Every structure is written in C-alpha cells, then in structure tokens.
A and B are shown apart, each in its own frame.
Chain A
Amino acid sequence: MFEQLFQFLVTGITVGSLYALVGLGFALIYNASDVVNFAQGEFVMLGAMIAIALLDAGMPLLLAASAATLLTIVAGLLLERFAIEPAKGASVVTTIIITIGAGIFLRGVALLLWGKDFHSLPPFSGDTPIQLGGATVLPQSLWVLGITVLLVALVRAFFNRTLLGKALLACSFNRVAAQAVGINVRVMLRLAYGLSAGLGALAGILIAPITFSSYEAGIMLGLKGFSAAIIGGIGNPMGAVAGGLLLGVLESLGAGLISSGYKDAIAFLFVLMVLFFKPTGLFGHQLVERV
C-alpha cells in the first residue's frame, strides 16, 4: 500500500512539474498584462511538436530542443504583437476570447503542419526504469523534475537578482509608476510573453517522451496550468508552482485510488472548491478589489 502511494506520488510530481511550468507562464503573463492567456497550452504543444519535427529532420536532440524553444518564443512574441497589443484596454471577456481564438489558430497551424497523428520524442537517456524505494521511476521523470527545479530557480533568481527581472516585477505592481521611473513597459510586456512561451515550450519538450503529443495536446495542459495558477493565487509565480505540484499529486492519487476515468473531473472539482471557498488561492495574498 505504501509503495503504491509512493508510486502515485512520483507520477503526480512528474505531471505536476509540467503544470507548475505552464502555471508559471500564466502567472508571468497575468502579472505583466492582466491577461489570462488561454493559448498557453498551445505553447507547450508547439514546443513538443517542433522539437519532434526537427529531430525527425536529422537534428541532434539538444539543437532541436533549443530551436523549438526559440521558435515558440517567436510565436509568443508574435501573439503579443498582433493579438494582445492591438486590443489594449479591451474588457476581460474580450481578451479571454482573443486568446482562445489564438489557441484555436495555433492548433489549426499545427494541424496543417503535422496532421492529426500522435507523435513522440525518444527519452533523453534511455527508458530503463529505475527502482526507487519500491516505486518505478522512468529516467525521463528525473529529467522533468531536475529541469523544472532548475527553471524555477532561474526564474526566481531572475526576479530577485537582475535589474531586468525587477523592472518586470515593477510593471506587474503598477504599470504607470513603472513607466514613470523609466521602464519601457512595452518591452517588458514582450519579455513576459517570450519568457512564458519559452517555459511552455520547454515543458512540452520535457513531457513529449512520456506522453504522446498531437495538435490537440495543449488544451488540457493549458487548462491544468491555469488551474495551477488559480490554486496558487493568480499572479503569484511561486504559488503557481506549488499549485501545479499539488494538482498533479491530487490528480494522480485520484486516478490511482478512485478512478482513472474521473481524473480530470477530480482535478477541476478541486479547482472549483478552491474558487468557491478561497478564490485568492491557497498560497495567495489578499487582493483588494477594484470597483
């Protein structure tokens, strides 16, 4: 029983790491622009699919992964420039629908390029399972965990240690004040979209060897990432990371102990409960509502 629980925990943390990365991306964009980007999951899908395509074209894995991340960042910048910026000052409902439209558009592009088939990446370092205290761990899970920890630490250091990161943080607190002290808010906005797209792409590349990827793969991942951000308190980057891990573990336990078919229902029921009883998130600070 204990071993089984441990196994669920390992699976949950692996999936949760991805939700954490996607949720982190959500939080970055939300902080910088008050926009919840419903196309976030498509960044994950693009990262995975481009990497797979480049690998198939004969590129070595590291190069393919880097190129895929860069191309996805370009997609994120284009999204900001051509869909978010022209709609500046639009209502929440309008921006939600714009990003949903962007998500559908990116899915459409992927459908044209790669069809409806499922694709996958080979694992980064073989697929011989490692025995760890009664649980079986795929080497890829360790890659996922390790790189997630590294990325989260980098994002933290970026915000706490670098001038650029602090400038971005200043924008999220008060855009007018940030502008007044000489921060170029437009550049910061693009930086947030680029960073967020890059994180999404990396998440996609990391998970591609474990789950199959297709043009539709981003939908659920994006929604789970958004859920992670809400559980952690929207706009709180480290809260989103914690929320993602929590969601992953909960989902894995629910799938293992209750029913795997109801896995998504369990995850979203939890999100609904958080929204009903603690809408500022489990790890969030109290928000003052503006009328």
Chain B
Amino acid sequence: MRLAGFYLFAALVALLPVLFPDNYFVIVIGASAGLHVILAVGLNLLMGYAGQISLGHAAFFGMGAYASAILTTRFGWPSLLALAAGLVATGAIAWLLARPILRLRGHYLAMATLGFGIIVHVIMVQATRWTGGPDGLAGIPPLNLFGWSVEGDLQWYGVIMAAMLLALWLALNLVDSQAGRALRAVHGSEFAAQMMGVDTGRAKTQVFVVSALFAAFAGSLFAHQQAFVSPDSFNLTISVELVTMVVLGGMASTFGAACGAIALTLLQQGLVVFEDYEMLIHGALLMAVMIFLPQGLFVGLSQGARRLWAVFRFTRVR
C-alpha cells in the first residue's frame, strides 16, 4: 500500500505511448522529463531529506555523461562497462568531497557546491584533449544492453522510463529505511540527531554519494541518448534548474520532486513559444513559488486540498 502511488505512476508511464501512439511530444519530451526525474529525485534525497543544498549538481550529471562519452568513443569500452566506471568514478569523487564540503552549512555550502560545479565545468571546457572542449564530443555509440542496441525514440522512452521507475523505487525505499529516518533527523536538527546517536557525518556522506550516483546514472543515459555531449549541458544554469525542480515540486517528497521535474520540463517546452520572455517568467515563477508556497507546488497544493477537505467534512458533520 505504501507504494500505491508508485504503481499508479508506473501504469501511467506505460500507458502514455499506447494512448498517444507516434506522438513526438509524449515520446521525446517524456524521455527528457524522465531523465530530469532521476536527477531531481536524487537531488531531493540530499536537499529535501537531508536539508543540504547543492548548487553544483550538474557536475555529477556531467561526470557520468563524460565518463560514458570518453570511455566509449576514445577507448572503445562497451557502454555498460563505461556506465559502471562512470558510476564508480563519480561516487569516489563525491565520497572524497563529501566530508569537507558537508561540514559547511547554509550559504557556505551553497558557495562551495557552486564553486565545485564551476570548476568541473571549466575543466570540461578546457581539457580539450579529453573532453573535446567547448565543441563537445560527438559520435557516442548507442547504449548496448547485453546485445540489445537501444535505438529510436520509442526504445529510448522505454529504457529511460524503466530507469526512472528504478530510481523512484530506490528513493522511496531509501527514505523509509533506517538510513532515511536518520537523514530526516539530520534535517530537523543535526545537533538533536547526534544526541540520538545518529552518526550525522556518515549519514550526510552517504546521501551525498547516493545523490551523485543518481545524477551520474542519468548522465550516462543522456550521453548515449543524445549521442553527443558538450559542457553547455552541465553548467551553472542546469544546476540551478535542478534545484528549481526539487523546490518547485516540494522538498522532502519523492513524488513532489518528480512532479517538479516533469512540470519544469513541460514549462520549458511551453515557454519556448514566448522566446525572449522565457527567462523573465522562469525567474518570476521561482520567486513566486518560494514566497507563497515555500513547501513547493505539489506539497503545498496537496496540503491545501487536505485542509479544504477537512473544512468540508467539518461543515457536513455539523
């Protein structure tokens, strides 16, 4: 029963291409939204549950993508092995970074993660011999899953949705595990959590690494799906967008983050029509949601609905 929402979501994802066959919007935008969901759900573990902000999450997304891109194109590695290597490398870097960076709080943590993201982006642009520089790397071979080569929009929709559901399932279970409860305790009050015997340093390190792994995983898929990577896909703007997704949907709610990711993806598609107004609307929306619904759209609206329902019931009983 705990995962009822998950099964509903999975059924919906599977039904969409049946209900709208050969629909570019559903298949292509859906796949893009799916990748965003993986990223947002991962970042939400860190931001929403553990209460640690990261303004450099695009760096981990990029590391996964570049690991897959470089290992498959320059060294001819099979794609699954490259994906695994990307996960290991990103996880190791996140683990090394976690202790010193997560000792910082609030604005300091924001600045440190932001600086880390910028450093990684500069390396992507400058280390031309490896990364192809600002022009990026093209000709990434298709993802090969034990002999099945993923090609075409519909196949990619399937693969990304499966990956997204896996990520959602993992996140939902993680949050309700002992480690997840420890994390929420850290969010409430790190000091109190320590007093209750939670190794807060360890809890924060773990969630930072897990969150980075989610991003690297999405990055590898992204690299193969696009067959091309360039630094522009992993800059500060993308990091800010990922944070926007998490807070838009609602922090500390896995489905909230997922909804935020889907909403922002759709919004960006919709705003393309407005061209020059896109940035203006994006900024205004971010401010408005944070001022009026600081728990996010999904959480804020569902709480509002619950309150309305309570009022309605009260009047009926009377």
- Taken together as a complex, chains A and B put the C-alpha atoms of A169 and B104 apart, in Å, by 26
Within 8 A of B (CB), among A213-272: 219, 223, 226-227, 230, 234, 259, 261-262, 264-265, 268-269, 271-272
Chain B positions 79 through 121: 1 when the CB is less than 8 Å from some CB of chain A, otherwise 0: 0000000000000000000001101111110111011101100
Q: Is the C-beta of A165 less than 8 angstroms from some C-beta in chain B?
A: no
Q: Does B170 contact A (CB under 8 A)?
A: no
Q: Which of the residues B110, B126, B276, B291 comes within 8 Å of A96, measured between beta carbons?
A: B110
Known interface pairs A104-B283, A112-B280, A261-B126. Does A98 touch B291 (Cβ–Cβ under 8 Å)?
A: yes
A272-B116, A276-B100 known; A108 vs B280 contact (CB < 8 Å):
yes
Within 8 A of A (CB), among B255-290: 276-287, 290
Count chain B residues whose beta carbon lies closer than 8 angstroms to a beta carbon of A.
48
Interface residue B294 (Cβ < 8 Å from any Cβ of A):
yes
Determine whether the beta carbon of B294 is less than 8 Å from that of A261. no
B189 within 8 A of A: yes
Check if B123 is an interface residue, CB within 8 A of chain A: yes
What residue of chain A has the Cβ atom nearest to residue B126's Cβ?
Answer: A261
**A106 part of interface (Cβ distance < 8 Å):** yes
Known: A94-B290, A264-B122. Contact between A279 and B108, CB under 8 A?
Answer: yes
Are A108 and B282 closer than 8 Å at their CB atoms?
A: yes
The verdict on B240 contacting chain A, using a C-beta distance below 8 Å, is yes
* Contacts of A98-118 to chain B: CB distance below 8 A: 98, 100-109, 111-112
A102 touches B108 (CB 8 A): no
Number of A residues whose C-beta is below 8 Å from B? 44
| Cβ 8 A contact of A223, one of B114, B247, B279, B281 | B114
CB proximity of A106 to chain B, nearest CB, Å: 7
CA distance A86 to B292 in the complex (A): 8
User: Does chain A have a CB within 8 A of B53?
Assistant: yes
In the complex, which residues of chain A have a beta carbon less than 8 angstroms from the beta carbon of B292? 86
A36 interfacial by beta-carbon distance below 8 Å:
yes
Known: A93-B47, A108-B282, A261-B122. A271 touches B287 (CB 8 A): no
**Within 8 Å of chain A (Cβ to Cβ): is B243?**
yes
Q: Is the interface of A mostly helix, strand, loop or mixed?
A: helix
Interface bits A28-48 vs B (CB < 8 Å: 1, else 0): 001000001000000000000
Nearest CB in chain B: distance from A99 CB, A: 9
Knowing A36-B110, A103-B283, A105-B283, say if A97 contacts B247 (CB, 8 Å).
yes
Out of A219, A272, A279, name the residue touching B236 (CB < 8 Å). Answer: A219
Whether the Cβ atoms of A86 and B291 lie closer than 8 Å is: yes
Main secondary structure of the interface of B (DSSP, over half): helix
Q: Is B7 an interface residue (CB 8 A)?
A: no
Does residue B13 face the partner (Cβ distance < 8 Å to A)?
Answer: no
Q: For residue B101, which residues in chain A have a CB less than 8 angstroms away from its CB?
A: 276
Which residues of chain B have C-beta atoms less than 8 A from A151's C-beta?
none
Partner of A93, one of B53, B118, B191, B278: B53
**A108 / chain B contacts, CB cutoff of 8 Å:** 277-284
| A223: nearest chain-B partner, CB-CB | B114
B154 within 8 A of A: no
Question: Which of the residues B112, B122, B243, B281 comes within 8 Å of A97, measured between beta carbons?
Answer: B243
From A104, A109, A111, A275, give the contact of B286 (CB < 8 A).
Answer: A104
A234 touches B286 (CB 8 A): no
> In the complex, A108→B283 CA distance in Å?
8
Contact A291 B189 (CB under 8 A): yes
Interface string of A69-101 (1 = CB under 8 A from B): 000000000000001001100111110111011
The reply to whether B126 and A259 form a contact with Cβ atoms under 8 Å apart is: yes
Q: Are B290 and A262 in contact (CB under 8 A)?
A: no
- Chain B: minimal CB distance from A37 (Å): 10
Supplied contacts A93-B51, A226-B111, 7 more A-B pairs, CB within 8 Å: A96-B107, A108-B277, A264-B122, A272-B115, A275-B112, A276-B101, A279-B108
Q: What are 7 A-to-B residue pairs whose CB atoms are below 8 Å?
A: A97-B247, A97-B286, A98-B287, A101-B290, A105-B287, A272-B116, A276-B101
Q: Give the interface of B toward A (CB within 8 A).
A: 47, 51, 53, 55, 100-101, 103-108, 110-112, 114-116, 118-119, 122-123, 125-126, 189, 191, 236, 240, 243-244, 247, 251, 276-287, 290-292, 294
